[in-house]
Structures are given as C-alpha cells and as structure tokens.
Chain A
Amino acid sequence: MAAADLAGIDRTPFEQFLIHEAALLDARKFRDWMALFTDDGTYWVPAVPDQQSPFDQASLFYDDRDLMKTRIDRLEHPRIHVQTPPSRTAHLVGNIVIEEANDTTGEYLIGSTVIMVEYRDDAQRTFAGRQHHRLRREGGAFRVVQKRVDLINCDSAFEAMAVPI
C-alpha cells in the first residue's frame, strides 16, 4: 500500500492495541501478554543496531512461544532472585506510524517509539528505542507475529534485565 494510502488508515485501533500491550507489561500480566502473540510469534530485542538476523548474531532477547513460556514460568517462580524485589515499569508508546498494511492478508507493520522506565531495588533506569509490531488480524483482534524492539543503546553493557521491554 502506498504511503499516501497508509496515511489515510485510522490509527486508533493500532494505538489502542499498543497501549493495551504496554499496560499488560506494566501490570506484570506476562501470560496475558504472551497470549497476544501468534503461535509462531517471536519477541526480538537485537544487540546491535540494524541487526539483520536473529540467527547469526547475539540478541538480548529472541524468544519464540516456547522460550516466552519458559521466561514467564521463571518470572513467576518464587525464587527468581533478580526479581526479588520485582521490577516496576512504566511504558510510554508514541510516534506511531503504520508502515505496512495489507487488508487482504490482515497483516500490518506498526512502528512506534517506546520508553520504559524501570525501578527496582532502589535504582531507576530508562530504556528507549523504536519498536515494530508485525500484527495479524485474527477474528476481531490483532495478534503479534513479531515484536522487535531496537533499543538506542542495544550494544551497550547492561545490568541484569529480567522483564520484557
């Protein structure tokens, strides 16, 4: 779809979806968050700018549904030391752009800017970057085929990260 046509699409449902997703993460409803993904869905946070592939380079996160489940089982485990006490987060999503839209297949690529502030154990830090959600309309709802978050400092050295961005 041409850029002019993309500009004409109502952004509201996409915006609502992204706000809903962010709210699930901030509420630590990780299982509900995982349920947003398609069965073949992936969550990817590259470790280098403009990373071409999750296969031949290290990534901070590259989870398929199986790994997401293992990650969330762990997040709910009583002895996850790195979440004792747990993180509190606030996501802010904005600058939303519909980058691709195909009403026939029901697939959309939505770009947005995300800022996540995380507080844990007397320390607060900030993550920021551009994220892309590849969404597929299934029934009346969107599901995530891939969520990719490109942090502006993706190749820096991080203190331990436990919760998805």
Chain B
Amino acid sequence: MTNPGDYITTELGRQPVIMTRHRDGSVHVLLNRCTHRGAKVVNERSGHAPRLVCCYHGWTYDTDGRLTNVPVPEGCGEGFDKANFGLARAPRTGEYRGFVFASLAATGPSFEDHIGAMKGNIDDLVDRAPDGELALDAGMHRYVYNGNWKLQVENVLDSYHVPFGHASTVNKQGVQFARREGDQKGAAVIETEKKQTATTWNDRKSFIVGNGHGWTSNTTLDDGKRSSPAFDAYRKVLAAKVGAERAAQILTPRLHNSLIYPNMSIMGLNIHVRVIKPIAVDRTEVTIYPIRLVGAPAAMNFGNIRLLNVTHSAASFVQTDDLESFVRTQKGLHSTLTDWVDISRGLGAEEPDRELNATRGLATHEMVVRAQFKAWLGYMREAA
C-alpha cells in the first residue's frame, strides 16, 4: 500500500475491515460496513480507489473514512450531519516498520507495551532487505481447516512435532529437503541409525517474553556453506548497503519461527509472515504472505517465493501434514470422556536468558504453549 488510495480488505478477528492509505500518507483501519444500512462497502481484496462508494445507495467515503457524499441528501433529517456518519474505525492502531497492528478494544495494554521485545524479531526480518523495507506484493497462500485457531498458534513454535509430524518430508538419511535459497541440504531431523530425533534438533531452544509471544532458535543447517548465484548476489548487495560485518550479522540465522501473540507469526527459514484468523470455534483461516526483500536481486526473491510454495501453500509438503494434525486434534477434543490435554513437557526446566532478557527452554518442550494459554486466560479473565 504505497500510494494514496491503495487499500486492502481483511478481517480483524471476525470483523470485516478496510485498510487504506490516505492522501496525507496516513493509514486507516476502517470497519467495512456502510453507516447507512450496513452493506460491506468494499468487496475487492485489494485495489486502488480515490473514494469508497457503497454499492447499495451510493454513500461515499473518503479514504480516511469520512462520509463525503450522500445521494438525495434532502431526504435526510434536518439534524443529519455527515460528520457523524463516517466509517467506524479500529479504536487503536500501531505501526512498526511497515506492519500495521489494530485492536478492536478501546482500552487495554498499549501497542508498545503489547509488542514489547518482539520488535527485535520484526527487525530480524526487515533488516534482511538491502533497502530496509519489505514488500508483501507476491500474492498469498490461503488455507482453512476445521479446527480452533489456537492449534495453528501453538504449532508455529512447536519443534517437538517435526520429526514425527513431518516424517514424510525427511529422507532416508534423516535430512529434510533443502528449504532456503542457497542451501545444499535441509535440516538434520532424525538420527536414522538410532531411530531417534537428531541431537541438533533436541538442542534447539525456545524463548518467551510475556504476553504470549515467543520464538524458536534457528534450525541448524549447513550455514557458512550457503551459496547459489542468487544468494551470493544478494549477500553482495546487502554488504554494499550495510557493510560486510553487519551483513554477516544479519545473515547469521538466529530465529526459526516468531509468534506475535495472538495471531501473527514470522518465519526466518522460509521467510514469510502468517496471519491467523478465527472463523468459528472449529474453523480457522490462515493467510501466508511471501516476502519480497526490497533491494535484493530478483533471483533471490524468486527463490524465496518458489520455496515457500513447497513448504506453505495449501498444496505444500509441510503445511498439509500440520493441517491434518489440527483437524484430527479438533476431532479428538470433541470427545467428552476426558477433559485434559498434557502440555507439561519441560515444566520447571525453564531458565532465564539474561542476555536476551527472555525465558529460555528447549524447543521440544511445551513452555511456549503454556505461555500462550497463560496469556489467553488473562485476556479471557479481563473480558469476563
């Protein structure tokens, strides 16, 4: 959304919204509902319009949500004032490095307090772009499943499931297919001789920083050997922009998945941003945006986009087995003879990470799931 008049439509939770770029450059998150008789005003997923016109009676709004025109205005009551009939807006929004966050709640923790340390995880992604900017203009992957939204949220930081859940993506040597531009091979997941999860996998760490947020440390790959014409050209461009030392720092993988609770994740391996939308208690829609690193050679961006098809499209090798697990979990949880699930792995094994100002556990433990439920319970209590 670079130009005035650009818009996208989406949902905040289950509320239809329009996000617009106004003439003064400001971003507005508006309820996609005409203030007259309630019709959804914009029906396209994205586009460009100088004004937003309702299909039903032609009420017309400026891109900042102000009502500017009402056909046959003399029919409106004497006290009718257009100023009172602008599109409703998300009570609070926050922006960070091009990402716009919106809340439906008028009160509560501020954006800054909520996002807290997770700004660093956004930086980790955005800094990879030689021009310091991302473009989410490479389409999207959209998938749905018959399951609760929390199943996807838990999964993004769950490293325990990979050796079994994604067994079908691991070759006879216990190694997953290569997933990053320039990688010659993928991560070691299973020690096939011992028939056990690879030590490198078991050693992966996870981190929590309050509010339900967290991340997992990077997958151990053949770092240092990463090379392809596209990747080498990208590394060169990045180094020319930020210096060789800083480029090396940026390209040292720190993060695998990051979760900005409750509904956004960033993946550092097959770079993408994911937004999770609850539709019903047992229905969830997920949108995954490939990332174009602005300033990177086209071939590098093409490589990222191509590999994301393989891992995260609705027809991908990886995401599909997760979806099957979510659907089966939902089916299992519909049963009533037993109420409990077990998320106690690593309980008591958490330790402070003073350098990162976070709490650290093993990524194959369930500390992150407990942190998510703690945050969720807090929000539910506040709402009650």
Per the bound structure, the CA–CA distance linking A160 and B312 in Å amounts to 10
The reply to whether A160 and B313 form a contact with Cβ atoms under 8 Å apart is no
A73 contacts partner chain B, Cβ-Cβ < 8 Å: yes
A54 contacts partner chain B, Cβ-Cβ < 8 Å: yes
Minimum CB–CB distance from B190 to chain A (whole Å) comes to 11
B123 contacts partner chain A, Cβ-Cβ < 8 Å: no
The reply to whether A159 and B323 form a contact with Cβ atoms under 8 Å apart is yes
User: Please, what's the 1-or-0 string for B205-244, where 1 marks a CB less than 8 Å from any CB in chain A?
Assistant: 0000000000000000000000000000000000000000
User: Please, what's the 1-or-0 string for A60-85, where 1 marks a CB less than 8 Å from any CB in chain B?
Assistant: 11100001001101100101111010
B65 contacts partner chain A, Cβ-Cβ < 8 Å: no
Contacts of B286 in A (CB 8 A): 157
Hey, which bits of chain A sit against chain B, CB under 8 A? 45, 47-48, 51, 54-62, 67, 70-71, 73-74, 77, 79-82, 84, 155-162
Question: Which of B137-145, B149-157, B365-373 touches A?
Answer: B137-145
Contacts of A58 in B (CB 8 A): 138-141, 290, 305, 308-309, 313
The reply to whether A74 and B306 form a contact with Cβ atoms under 8 Å apart is no
Minimum CB–CB distance from A161 to chain B (whole Å) comes to 4
User: Please, what's the 1-or-0 string for B146-187, where 1 marks a CB less than 8 Å from any CB in chain A?
Assistant: 100000000000000000110111010000010000000000
B317 contacts partner chain A, Cβ-Cβ < 8 Å: yes
Minimum CB–CB distance from B102 to chain A (whole Å) comes to 21
A-B contact pairs, 20 of them (CB 8 A): A51-B139, A54-B306, A55-B298, A55-B305, A57-B305, A58-B139, A60-B141, A61-B309, A62-B306, A79-B168, A81-B165, A81-B324, A82-B321, A157-B143, A157-B285, A158-B143, A159-B143, A159-B145, A159-B314, A160-B145
Given contacts A56-B305, A156-B142, A158-B142, 17 further A-B contacts (CB under 8 A): A55-B305, A56-B298, A56-B301, A67-B310, A73-B171, A77-B168, A79-B167, A81-B168, A81-B325, A157-B314, A158-B314, A159-B143, A159-B314, A160-B143, A160-B145, A160-B314, A160-B315
Per the bound structure, the CA–CA distance linking A158 and B144 in Å amounts to 6
The reply to whether A47 and B168 form a contact with Cβ atoms under 8 Å apart is no
B302 contacts partner chain A, Cβ-Cβ < 8 Å: yes
B319 contacts partner chain A, Cβ-Cβ < 8 Å: yes
User: In this complex, what residue of A is CB-closest to B312?
Assistant: A58
Minimum CB–CB distance from A126 to chain B (whole Å) comes to 15
B263 contacts partner chain A, Cβ-Cβ < 8 Å: no
Minimum CB–CB distance from A74 to chain B (whole Å) comes to 4
Contacts of B328 in A (CB 8 A): 81
Contacts of B140 in A (CB 8 A): 47, 58
Contacts of B305 in A (CB 8 A): 55-58
Hey, which bits of chain B sit against chain A, CB under 8 A? 45, 138-146, 164-165, 167-169, 171, 177, 285-287, 290, 292, 298, 301-302, 305-306, 308-310, 313-315, 317, 319-321, 323-325, 328
Given A157-B142, A159-B144; A61-B323 close (CB under 8 Å):
no
The reply to whether A80 and B168 form a contact with Cβ atoms under 8 Å apart is yes
Dominant secondary structure at the A interface: loop
Given A158-B314, A161-B320; A56-B309 close (CB under 8 Å):
no
Per the bound structure, the CA–CA distance linking A79 and B190 in Å amounts to 14
Per the bound structure, the CA–CA distance linking A81 and B164 in Å amounts to 10
Of the listed residues B285, B298, B315, B319, the one surrounded by the most CB atoms of chain A closer than 10 A to its CB is B315
Per the bound structure, the CA–CA distance linking A67 and B138 in Å amounts to 21
The reply to whether B323 and A82 form a contact with Cβ atoms under 8 Å apart is yes
The reply to whether B315 and A162 form a contact with Cβ atoms under 8 Å apart is yes
Contacts of B138 in A (CB 8 A): 56-58
The reply to whether A56 and B302 form a contact with Cβ atoms under 8 Å apart is yes
Per the bound structure, the CA–CA distance linking A161 and B323 in Å amounts to 10
Minimum CB–CB distance from A112 to chain B (whole Å) comes to 20
The reply to whether A70 and B143 form a contact with Cβ atoms under 8 Å apart is no
User: In this complex, what residue of B is CB-closest to A70?
Assistant: B177
Per the bound structure, the CA–CA distance linking A82 and B140 in Å amounts to 22
The reply to whether B323 and A160 form a contact with Cβ atoms under 8 Å apart is yes
The reply to whether B313 and A47 form a contact with Cβ atoms under 8 Å apart is yes
Per the bound structure, the CA–CA distance linking A161 and B319 in Å amounts to 10
Per the bound structure, the CA–CA distance linking A81 and B324 in Å amounts to 6
The reply to whether A74 and B301 form a contact with Cβ atoms under 8 Å apart is no
Per the bound structure, the CA–CA distance linking A106 and B168 in Å amounts to 38
Contacts of A156 in B (CB 8 A): 142
Per the bound structure, the CA–CA distance linking A51 and B309 in Å amounts to 15
User: In this complex, what residue of B is CB-closest to A161?
Assistant: B315
Per the bound structure, the CA–CA distance linking A58 and B324 in Å amounts to 22
Contacts of B314 in A (CB 8 A): 60, 157-161
Given A80-B168, A81-B325, A160-B319; A60-B143 close (CB under 8 Å):
no
The reply to whether A59 and B309 form a contact with Cβ atoms under 8 Å apart is yes
The reply to whether B315 and A45 form a contact with Cβ atoms under 8 Å apart is yes
Minimum CB–CB distance from A2 to chain B (whole Å) comes to 36
The reply to whether B313 and A59 form a contact with Cβ atoms under 8 Å apart is yes
Of the listed residues B145, B324, B325, the one surrounded by the most CB atoms of chain A closer than 10 A to its CB is B324
Per the bound structure, the CA–CA distance linking A80 and B308 in Å amounts to 19
Contacts of A81 in B (CB 8 A): 165, 168, 321, 324-325, 328
Contacts of B165 in A (CB 8 A): 81
Minimum CB–CB distance from A118 to chain B (whole Å) comes to 12
